Structure 1
Amino acid sequence: MAESWWEGYDPVEFANYLDKKRAAAAPSPPAPAAEAEPKSPPRDAPSDVTPDDLELPFDPWDANRVEIAQYIWGEGYCGPGGPEHIISMCKLLALSPEMSLLEIGANLGGPARTLADKYGTWVTGYETSERLVKLANEKSLMAGLAKKADVRHYSTGSTEGFGRHFDRALAKESLFTIENKANILGLVEEHLKPSGLFLITDFVLGSDQVSGKESFRTWRDKESEKRRPYMVTAQELAGLVKKARFNVRVNEDVSATYIDLINRAWAGADKVAAQLARKEDSEDLLKALLKEAEFWSNRARMLESGDLRLWRILASKRSEKPSMLSDW
């Protein structure tokens, strides 16, 4: 197995590395002021977000984290899988300019813009972070795709629909943070046109026994920095999809590909740190980089251990009439 980016580069060593970079780039300290001025609120706990905004007391996607995500994953992306990967995985959807696509978990809108640009498809994305929604639509506007890659805010517990019907649907690593999966799957099915396709990639438990492990509980607690994970096994996820009146056409483990995407993206972490150390606000950005490195290190370890898997499901909406095809 190829060496992972964090092997020999654990969080403690990475923190020391960043400290050295920061110290090398820092100017000489100024003379102490006669009276210290009050400090502004930290960027990772924005004062403009109220406790009722989302499921967390503040939006976890602050300005620093958004910037770091794009350094690591690419412009408009918040996680593994840039434009080439999105295009490759979505070939299963057979998209065209005449089609519309519903996306659950749009983040910064990178996948939506990639698909709109590549296939001419009309994409409507839904995202829980109001900050990401705002930034995603700004990026779509700048790319000339404001209408074709529109991102809207939604709540994962909402029972409201999506306002229209779509030819296709996509949920990329977003269902595992939703407690009532039956509800969201039912809403997607309700808003898909007859014979519509639904592509899902999501984190699942490697087995029924994983939830009792200490390693899983530790990972789950770290995951709560974003959204609390509500985990099921691959078999349970497929079962929920079928109960929502879908036929499962593809049902497979794609963890190896995902691990490779993580490793390749973080292979240049030292270069990113060097770039950030030269910026005026390097202190906060370097801290955000370290936090994100620890986050993805923990996630990748769970995947490599087999306790966590990345699963892909392609489902089709069942016809109103009985089908001659079996649900395979």
Structure 2
Amino acid sequence: MGAETGINLATVGTAELKAMSVPVFRASLEQMSGEAIERFRKMRKLSKDHRQTLEKYLVEHPEKRLGGEEARPAPAGKARKAGKARKAPNPAAAAPKSTKSARSISFRHRLRAWWEGVAVDDLPRLEAARANGKRPAKIEPTASSLPSAPLMAAPQPAPQAPSPVEERIEVIQNIWGDGFSLPGGEGFFPGLLGDISFPQGCPCLDVAPGLGGSMRAVAKAYGLSIEGLEADPLFAIAGGMISDRLGMLAQTPIRNGNPETEPLGDKRYGAIFAREALFSFRDRKKFLASAMRALVDGGALLITDFVLADRQKSDVLDSWRTAEPLKPSPCTMEEYSELLRHLRYEVKGMEDVTDAYVALIQSAWKALHGHLKNAKIQPEKAAMLMDEADLWMARSRALESRKLKLIFIHARMHRVPKRALNDPMTID
């Protein structure tokens, strides 16, 4: 394998994988079975260099290709020529029995280190300090008094192993609760709406429902019919299936579509909802103008979104931008307000809900961390969890720094009556 040492690719996070050198990546492939390599290739998004290295490696090592020559015995002539027949690799025999357990422990250590805010190597020092009754140098996050996101019930045994797509959906729900893909469960977003009124007889639209948890909670709390328009096809399919399973498909259908480019209709919706989405829209103004046309007179625009505290540069914001799956382009609260007023929305309120949101993030991850202490977890799921952990660690740190904020926006669309041609006019 050379001077480079391999790493278990199934458990590395996205940022760690992106920064990995080609020699280390190749050395890591040496340690994987053909089946593991195939799963890894389907599940992970690779850089150009890593992709080329993987393809070249499979050409040079056909025995590692799934369905290829991995279990095919060598021809007798070649075996005699070499002096000894080469046995096909047996992953089960080659790997020690404790490998899976070691991978799980490694992941739990990494997750705990992320939670404590220290390096993995510093965990023994942290535990020793606590055992001696000393206060650790780093202050631990305080547990939130808000309710934690419930863990999803263990799935029933299936006749065949779940696909990576199913596993990712399960992982996300394990963090945020059954049917949810964002912090807060059934209480957070509906609680922000308070006593907001909605025009009667009009459907509503959610342009970022994810798995639909918040959308369904609002629909139940206010007796609304809400259509979900989800850009991620994976979430759209899974969210629709969850609505169907809960008997809410007619009230809360979800379909795949891009709200940035798809026409939203004309004077159709009594309200439009968006949770933590507009900060990564390419053209926020264009979308808000489209939403304005889609709302009936008196219709509500209800948004939670990430905004900047100011326009000053910050390392914590740079780290957050790098971790986001879609390139973020947040504005400040003042710029948001100015944009909405420019588009003739009546801004009813803008509320900073950062502290409550951070508490919900910490509470959910703390609950998951406690659950994983005695749980066995597959390497593939561990990798997915680390990807989510990387993203939410970056978001949480940016929010805790107060350089980034989460705000709740309530705006209304009031249409100006059209003038007749013979009406008197004045030009301001």
Deviations 1:164-210 (A, max 9, x none): 7011111111100102001110111111110111111100011021x
Deviation, structure 1 residue 71: 0.7
Name the residue aligned to 1:41: 39
Q: Which has the higher strand share?
A: 1
Instruction: Check 1:37–1:298 CA distance in 2 against 1; reply closer, same or farther (3 A cut).
Output: closer
Q: Is this contact kept in 1: 2:174–2:368, CA < 8 A?
A: no
Given candidates 409, 412, 416, the residue that maps to 1:316 is: 412
Name the residue aligned to 2:357: 258
Given candidates 336, 350, 368, the residue that maps to 1:269 is: 368
Deviation, structure 1 residue 257: 1.1
**Deviates further, 98-107 or 257-266:** 98-107
Gaps in structure 2 of 5+ consecutive residues: 1-10, 13-32, 46-163, 419-428
Q: Is this contact kept in 2: 1:97–1:122, CA < 8 A?
A: no
Aligned residue identity for 1:41? R
Is 2:241 the counterpart of 1:152?
Answer: no
State the aligned residue count: 269
Deviation, structure 1 residue 96: 8.1
Structure 1 CA distance for aligned equivalents of residues 281 and 305 of structure 2: 11
Name the residue aligned to 2:316: 215
Aligned residue identity for 1:311? I
Secondary structure of 1:107 counterpart:
coil
Superposition TM-score, scaled by structure 2 size:
0.58
Is 2:189 the counterpart of 1:86?
Answer: yes
Name the residue aligned to 2:274: 171
Aligned positions of 1:116-265 closer than 5 A: 116-158=219-261, 160-162=263-265, 165-209=268-312, 212-223=313-324, 226-265=325-364
Name the residue aligned to 1:286: 382
Deviation, structure 1 residue 64: 3.4
Aligned positions of 1:67-82 closer than 5 A: 67-82=170-185
Structure 2 CA distance for aligned equivalents of residues 285 and 276 of structure 1: 12
Secondary structure of 2:181 counterpart:
coil
- Work out which structure has the larger RCO, using CA pairs closer than 8 Å and 6 or more positions apart in sequence: 1
Aligned residue identity for 2:322? D
Is 2:396 the counterpart of 1:300?
Answer: yes
Structure 2 CA distance for aligned equivalents of residues 200 and 37 of structure 1: 44
Deviations 1:44-96 (A, max 9, x none): 248xxxxxxxxxxxxxx944332221111111111111112232122253358
Structure 2 CA distance for aligned equivalents of residues 237 and 199 of structure 1: 13
Instruction: Check 1:161–1:87 CA distance in 2 against 1; reply closer, same or farther (3 A cut).
Output: closer
Aligned positions of 1:21-36 closer than 5 A: none
Q: Is this contact kept in 2: 1:201–1:313, CA < 8 A?
A: yes
Deviation, structure 1 residue 244: 2.1
Superposition TM-score, scaled by structure 1 size:
0.75
Aligned residue identity for 1:235? E
Deviation, structure 1 residue 296: 1.0
Q: Is this contact kept in 1: 2:267–2:293, CA < 8 A?
A: no
Structure 1 CA distance for aligned equivalents of residues 280 and 226 of structure 2: 22
Secondary structure of 2:400 counterpart:
helix
Structure 1 CA distance for aligned equivalents of residues 215 and 353 of structure 2: 21
Structure 2 CA distance for aligned equivalents of residues 101 and 37 of structure 1: 46
Q: Is this contact kept in 2: 1:77–1:107, CA < 8 A?
A: yes
Is 2:171 the counterpart of 1:64?
Answer: no
Structure 1 CA distance for aligned equivalents of residues 34 and 186 of structure 2: 47
Structure 1 CA distance for aligned equivalents of residues 385 and 44 of structure 2: 16
Q: Is this contact kept in 1: 2:198–2:299, CA < 8 A?
A: no
Q: Is this contact kept in 2: 1:251–1:313, CA < 8 A?
A: yes
Structure 2 CA distance for aligned equivalents of residues 87 and 237 of structure 1: 22
Secondary structure of 2:287 counterpart:
helix
Instruction: Check 1:164–1:196 CA distance in 2 against 1; reply closer, same or farther (3 A cut).
Output: closer
Q: CA RMSD in A?
A: 2.6
Structure 2 CA distance for aligned equivalents of residues 214 and 38 of structure 1: 36
Deviations 1:115-145 (A, max 9, x none): 2223221001111100111111111111111
**Deviates further, 160-169 or 259-268:** 160-169
**Identity, % of aligned positions:** 26
- The structure number with the bigger radius of gyration is 2
